[in-house]
Amino acid sequence: MISDHALCGVYAAAVTPLKPDATLDSEALPEFLGFLAGRGCHGALLLGTTGEGPSFSSAERMEILQAAMGVRQQYPNFRILAGTGTPSLEETASLTQAAFDLGVDGVMVLPPYYFKKVSDDGLFEWFRQVIIRAVPHGGYLLAYHIPPVTGVPISIELLARLKDAFPEQFAGLKDSSGDPEHARKLGQVFRKELLVLNGNDRLFSLALQNQASGCITALANLASPLLRQVWNQTNLDEQDDEAQTRLNAARDVLEAFPPAAAFVKEILPRQHHFPKWGVRRPLLPLSQALVEQAVERWMQLSYV
């Protein structure tokens, strides 16, 4: 059985609906989150990597989160996680507190990613200050381990220190390292004491077999029924190799046409009739030639 933590489950790293002028399409956001809820997602992460979080100002982030809360009119139990990490301790604490004030279920926080080779002591103090100042009792903080992007890994030792210091408020991490050995080690060290949400669809079954509690992925915008199928079968102590194989193939297509936000925003209107949403600079939309290739390869995956 998978952990019974309040945040376990399948989450989409949701794209952010943007109008042609790159401003927020606030009316589209609750509708899109409802679509994800109806396709098996327990919740969504707003303002993560796929949601282009670092491209939005603090005020825009709050506007996005406030709009997202509209999904609960139809899906009251749909969980919302907010990406609130920035290199600034002050800004991160402020965003985190404001997100909880709006009613999010948890926050996902990048390490301060400008300064490289910082010590675990420095990172511990930075996260400690965020939690003390901004995470209420009953709220949860997840660290975002994505060293290929941030250049600042979150070590096993740092995770243990944070969990010991804040056993309730520090829930765990999103593991986007893409490293199968790291997924295994997290399970060996922490068992089910740490909430681990996997960030790479290819490793989903492996992570669940090593005590992970769910996932947060870009692919869940398009293929959440497959992810939910793997999660459900694992909850029954069964393994669904066929569904995992299909996830691997879908992930291959996603990764062939970066960035993920632009790819997802090309597929959604063609497969599910959403508007064509743009991406914010520095990201660019896919070229027309790449769009044609991406759509052709995706549509060959008849099971998504």
Ordered by where they begin, the domains of the chain are 9-237 (3.20.20.70)
Active centre residues (catalytic): 49, 114, 144, 174
**Residue at token pair 């603090």:** 58
Cβ neighbourhood burial of 133 (10 Å; 0-12, 13-18, 19+): middle
What is the helix (H) or strand (E) element at residue 13, kind and residue range?
A: strand 9-13
* Model confidence at 295: pLDDT above 90: yes
pLDDT, one tens digit per residue, over 69-124 is 999 999 999 999 999 999 999 999 999 999 999 999 999 999 999 999 999 999 99
- What is d(CA 66, CA 155) in angstroms, rounded to the nearest whole number? 33
pLDDT, one tens digit per residue, over 223-240 is 999 999 999 999 999 999
CA distances for 199 relative to 96, 107, 142, 215, 288, angstroms? 21, 15, 13, 6, 29
- What is d(CA 29, CA 64) in angstroms, rounded to the nearest whole number? 8
Measured from the Cβ of residue 107, the count of other Cβ atoms closer than 10 Å reads: 28
Q: Is 183 in contact with 197 (CB distance < 8 Å)?
A: no
> Residue 209 carries which side chain, given as an amino acid letter?
Q
pLDDT, one tens digit per residue, over 264-274 is 999 999 999 99
- What is d(CA 212, CA 1) in angstroms, rounded to the nearest whole number? 11
Structure tokens given for 18 = 């943007």
Residue 303 confidence class, pLDDT cut points 50, 70, 90: confident
Count of all residues that appear for the chain in the document:
304
pLDDT at position 88 is 97
- What is d(CA 35, CA 40) in angstroms, rounded to the nearest whole number? 9
What are the backbone angles phi and psi of residue 226, rounded to the nearest 5°? -70, -45
* Model confidence at 32: pLDDT above 90: yes
* Model confidence at 302: pLDDT above 90: no
19 alpha-carbon distance from chain centroid:
22
What is the helix (H) or strand (E) element at residue 291, kind and residue range?
A: helix 288-299
